[in-house]
Amino acid sequence: MEFIDERTQDGVTRRSFSVTVAGERVPAVIWAPAGARGPRPLVLMGHGGSQHKKTPGISARAAIYARKFGYATLAIDAPGHGDRVSREAAEAVARDTLARVTGQVASGWTPERLKLMAERTASAVPEWNAALAAAVGFDFVGSDGPVGYWGVSMGTAIGVPFVAQAPRITAAVFGLAGLRPGAAEFEAAAQQITIPVEFVFQWDDAVATREQGVALFDAFGSVQKTMHINPGGHMDIPDYEGASWERFFTRHLGVAAAAVEHAAAAE
């Protein structure tokens, strides 16, 4: 692990570091309450296609989780994303992704695209493992605390195979993805997942059909799993689903002891 820098804003400290996996430097970032000491729940957040580890949704949620629950939040750049590609390449991916998720072009699971995604996932799983191992080495996280995963769209495409082989993770939010016919490895990974899952799905998503979404929900091996369906497209998850994720994680991961003390002191 290579430590890069840290900055503190509004009571939350963000530390940047990197791990190296198979010769690739993987940029990572971890948020925690400023001055955090001792173990606390950790949430891993996997960004969507064309996004990056500090994408606004993740940054905002990480700060809120730190302030409200005392959580640490870890994010990494997926292969071919964020600081791992040039700005020009990232912008080209963003244009392509926007066209697909808004249905301007057919989602087009071409063989080339499926191959690219399979390679990306194959790289991303050990990268997440390495980043998680580094994160639990921070004294403000610790190696015994509960760990959750959040990731929709590409964050699910990568997250399902990752979570399936990560016994430390005890609760996961997935969504905006489906099970395509013939995606046998992905289906097998979903079946191996037995932890509580909240699966958020948009009923008019250009990226996955309703049937594919329901098929992925059905594939999860979890006894406790809930699918939340809302009308609208890939970018239209209602705000109240974000509030639901907070309750899902606090239900399963608890809150940091320090967060309880802090809340009591504030009353």
Q: Cα dihedral sign for 94, 119, 157, 32?
A: negative
For a second copy, the closer CB: 69 or 128: 69
Strand partners, 21: 24
Site for a second copy in 221-250 (CB under 8 A): 223-231, 238, 240, 243-244, 247
Sign of the CA dihedral running 116, 125, 191, 44: negative
The neighbouring-strand residues paired with 169 are 147
Q: Return the number of the residue (141 or 171) whose C-beta is nearest a second copy.
A: 171
Cα–Cα distance measured from residue 39 to residue 83, given in angstroms and rounded to the nearest whole number: 29
Work out how close the CB of 213 gets to a second copy at its nearest, in angstroms, rounded to a whole number.
11
Return the bridge partners of 5, or none. 16
User: Shortest approach of a second copy to residue 183 CB, angstroms?
Assistant: 21
Does residue number 167 form part of the binding site for a second copy (CB under 8 A)? no
User: Residue 214 Cβ, how far from a second copy at the closest point, in Å?
Assistant: 8
The reply on whether position 267 binds a second copy by CB under 8 A is yes
User: Across-strand partners of 45?
Assistant: 150
Question: For a second copy, how many residues bind (rule: CB under 8 A)?
Answer: 19
Q: Which residues contact 190 (CB under 8 A, 6 or more apart)?
A: 160, 164, 179, 216, 219, 220, 221
**Residue closer to a second copy (CB basis): 68 or 210:** 210
40 binds a second copy (CB under 8 A): no
Report the interface residues with a second copy, using CB under 8 A: 210, 214, 217, 223-231, 238, 240, 243-244, 247, 251, 267
